[in-house]
Structure 1
Amino acid sequence: MSLSSSLALFKVPSFTPALLAILCSVLAEAVGFSYMALLAVEKIGMSPLELSAFLTLSAISGIAVTTVFGHLHDRRPVLWPLLVSLGAKVVAFGLCAVLTQSWMLIAVAVALFGPSSASFALMFAMAKGYLDRVGGETVSRGMASLRVASSLSWAIGPALGAALVAGWSFTGVYVGAALLSALALVVVFASRIKVVPAATEERQKITLGVVLAAAPAVIAMTAFHTSMFMGSNAMSIVVARELGTETDVGLLFSLCAAVEVVVMGLFVIRPMRRASVGLLAFGFLLFAGYFIMAIVWPTLLSLYLGQILRAAGIGILSVVGMAYVQELLPGRAGVASALFGNTMSAGGLLSGLGTGLFAEAFGYWSIFSVCTGLCLAGAAVLFVPAGRRIEAA
């Protein structure tokens, strides 16, 4: 990538503040959500049923609000949904620092954490509106750069959260997350970002045919996120209980996130012309390879080495997956980003239910086999006829 290409990216209007806002917003999530389960169970004393309700209702609320805000972004581009979403994140994390009752945290999940999850899709949709006006490789390079910022946040966030919880308990974690969310809100507000309409003259109409064409991609990305979250849950537990320590858990997550940054950075250096179904399928196979490696060689060393496959799979599927969904819906950046964001929420919801069911019946190691199946199914569904409409567009 030449220096002029790099400078051209940062000369795109509102790209730099969007990048900074995503970095701060996702960093807040990485700090706060790394300790959310511990906050709910250890400090507030949630029962398993209450914890399930908390996670489920938050995901459902997030899917609903993200869908509404995504459609609004495409119909009438305005900034207030993003400001509302970031503001909800500030208040939600701030309240987590002082809440003491289970019902209070569940209420926060529905009223605040759900709406706050829409900020991810809205910031990507807003940035794509400006990138599309430049066109060419700048679009692919810019979207990949935003994904790098997101992964970088997750590489830093857990370590920052560990420092805060050690020095100031849970209060420090959630005050820190609230301040980072507030910084994202300030960046968006102070930079006077304006949401622009899609540059595409022909906006894709949402018809039954379009829904059917996008369905394989949505199913595949939901399978990816479900396996990612379920695999993370299983890895954390088997490492802490059987193979290593809680320190190893943190190191494994940080190692994976660091390699993800490198993989996603390659898409900045060598941007895609178009999203490739073959490359997506390759990402699924790499991710499946990590789970298979853990099954046939269940050791701590295997999991450390496997983070290379895991990170490569996540990096490819995150960057190419979002581009793939966006290309299926030209001129609908809001809906496309919301669809991709909702596959994350749906994956989180399904993983919460699936982890408990399979662990209870077959043990936590069985989850690696489930994740392998999800990855292979995700790769296969991409090749159903409707999923290939992108290639003929």
Structure 2
Amino acid sequence: MMPASSSVFDSDLIIMHTPIALSRRLPDMTASAFLVIAFLSGIAGALQLPTLSLFLSTDVQARPFMVGLFYTGSAVIGIAVSQFLAGRSDKKGDRKMLIFQCCALGAAGCVLFAFNRNYFVLLIFGVLLTSFGSTANPQLFALAREHADHSGRESVMFSSVMRAQVSLAWVIGPPLAFALALGFGFKAMYMMAAATFVVCGGLVWMLLPTMRKSLLTTEAVMEAPRRNRRDTLLLFSACTLMWTCNCMYLINMPLYLIHELGLPEKMAGIMMGTAAGLEIPTMLIAGYISKQYGNRLLMRIAVAAGLLFYLGLILFTDATALLLLQLLNAVFIGILAGIGMIYFQDLMPGQAGAATTLFTNTGRVGWIFAGSLAGLISEIWQLHGVFYVALLMIAGAGYCMWRIRDVDSPLPRDTHTSPLPGTPGNGNVSP
């Protein structure tokens, strides 16, 4: 649903107890640290996002239009924060420290959501703090890509494995979020998210590598966007439309299930968790076959899955059918989240932070459109009306994807081929 990288050596080295294996334990721990932190950062997000519309409508007493406006405002602030940090992180400073600081600010934002119920205070100050927290994730993937390139290892599969950790977090996070919110209140849920950010920040401080920028890297960045500017713009448009559909679904789906279909409140968490669980094998398979079939073909498959998914949401209202549709949703979002980020990085070589943040901002722009549209449609029509709009947007994304040239071949990766610990062959995980 929401709903990345590479590094070390073969899995059999991890379980060996020879002096050679022990001497290489540090790189293994670095790769493991990336995976654990990706999982925890995913948990922190998955505890907040699924219940946000319910939190705003019940505890904050916001009207549907104001709920949508909150998402739009959140996205605008998030884009401003992430773009500022992306440019800074690619040119100078230590990305590790930036991730640590983002985790600390994210924890502060969760504490504010736990104890404050003023709509505008949450929109201005709470969203600003949590935007820094959410930016820790793309910066983590950028650092992982740099670490993989620096160590001369295959980055695509490791990115996919990292992204799978985020999806695993979304298997656990939404049901846990609804259980905490409905059983103990939103205060307990947000404090749990704050604690997760604190643990995540501690692991970043202790375990992640420090990789400072050089002037050579900064100069190389300037040539990259000019190679594939048209295709990058088309990819940005396609991903933005696809994320807009997903964001409208996330905003309206809990309220749609409860108010229009009369299903139990926990059903929303189950559906999100089911989709996230199915995304994991989707991402791993997509990462494994990306070199054989190319990123463009996989993204077209994602568009086709999205078309079928939103058509199914219009046609079916039975709980079992909605759960079965999550397989299509998993293919749609699993490929988009995993391959989409790698596609941007390949189109913008030498700009790991900018490319990753540009991809992340397609999601944030999606939230801008989704917040306005979902709130407006719910106010003047019905909650399920967003699915009709989503169907049209997916068609637009398909048009953009079909116009992108085949640039998979001419763009060499700055990596070598070496499998990750515990992963099949080559691949990539993505956020």
**So what's the TM-score if we normalise by structure 1?**
0.89
For 2:79, the equivalent position in structure 1 comes to 63
2:358 paired residue number: 339
Describe the SS at the equivalent of 2:155.
helix
Residue matched to 1:381: 400
State how 1:202-351 maps to structure 2 within 5 Å.
Answer: 202-203=220-221, 205=223, 210-243=228-261, 244-267=263-286, 272=291, 275-351=294-370
Change (3 A) 1:163 1:293: closer
- Give 1:65 deviation, angstroms: 1.4
Rounded Cα–Cα distance in structure 1 between residues aligned with 2:115 and 2:274: 32
Distance 2:181 2:256 in 1: 23
Match of 2:162 in 1: 146
Matched, 1:105 2:122: yes
**In the superposition, relative to structure 1, how do residues 167 and 355 fare at CA in structure 2: closer, same or farther (>3 Å)?**
closer
Tell me: CA distance 1:6–1:369, structure 2 relative to 1, closer, same or farther (3 Å).
Answer: farther
Q: Which residue of 2 aligns with 1:91?
A: 108
Question: Post-superposition shift, 1:95?
Answer: 1.6
- Alpha-carbon RMSD across the aligned residues, in angstroms, is 2.7
Residue 175, structure 1, aligned to residue 191, structure 2: yes
Structure 2: which 5+ runs fail to align?
A: 1-7, 15-24, 412-431
Q: Partners in 2 of 1:293 and 1:179 — Cα distance? A: 38
CA distance in 2, matches of 1:54, 1:25: 22
Q: Equivalent residue for 2:429?
A: none
CA contact (8 A) 2:97 2:205 kept: no
Q: CA deviation at 1:389?
A: 4.5
Q: Does 1:371 find its partner at 2:390?
A: yes
Which whole-Å CA distance do the structure 1 matches of 2:342 and 2:293 have between them? 8
How big is the shift at 1:378? 1.0
Percent identical among aligned pairs is 23
Matches of 1:4 and 1:106, distance apart in 2: 45
Who is 1:189 aligned against? Answer: 205
Q: CA deviation at 1:162?
A: 2.9
Greater relative contact order (Cα 8 A, min sep 6): structure 1 or 2?
Answer: 2
> Are the counterparts in 2 of residues 54 and 109 from structure 1 also a CA contact under 8 Å?
no
Q: What is the letter of the counterpart of residue 132 of structure 2?
A: P
Does structure 2 retain, via aligned residues, the 8 Å contact 1:129–1:196? Answer: no
Question: By how many angstroms is 1:87 displaced?
Answer: 1.2
Change (3 A) 1:380 1:314: same
Equivalents in 1 of 2:118, 2:87: separation in Å?
A: 35
1:123 corresponds in structure 2 to: 140
Counterparts of 2:29 and 2:222, CA distance in 1: 25
1:71, 1:264 → 2: CA distance? Answer: 28
Is 185-194 or 334-343 further displaced after alignment?
Answer: 185-194
Cα offset for 1:15?
A: 2.6
Whether 2:377 is the aligned partner of 1:358: answer: yes
Q: Partner letter of residue 323 of structure 2?
A: Y
Q: Could you tell me whether the CA contact under 8 Å between 2:174 and 2:270 is conserved in 1? A: no
State the AA in 1 paired with 2:31: F
* Structure 2 contact 112–126 (Cα < 8 Å) conserved: no
- Cα distance change on mapping 1:162 and 1:115 into 2, 3 Å: same
Deviation of 1:5 (Å): 3.6
Q: Cα 1:87–1:178, aligned 2, differ >3 Å: closer, same or farther? A: same
Code of the residue aligned with 1:227 in structure 2: it is: C
Contact kept in structure 2, 1:54 and 1:106, CA below 8 Å: yes
1:156 aligns with 2:172: yes
Is the alpha carbon distance of 1:392 and 1:48 closer, same or farther for their aligned partners in structure 2, counting shifts above 3 Å?
same
Change (3 A) 1:389 1:351: same
Distance 1:186 1:206 in 2: 34
How big is the shift at 1:77? Answer: 4.5
- Residue 23 (structure 1) aligned with residue 39 (structure 2): yes
Q: Deviations over 1:216-246 (max 9, x none)?
A: 1111111111011112334333322343222
Q: Distance in 2 between matches of 1:50 and 1:234?
A: 13
String of CA shifts for 1:108-131, please: whole Å, max 9, x gaps. Answer: 234312222211110000000011
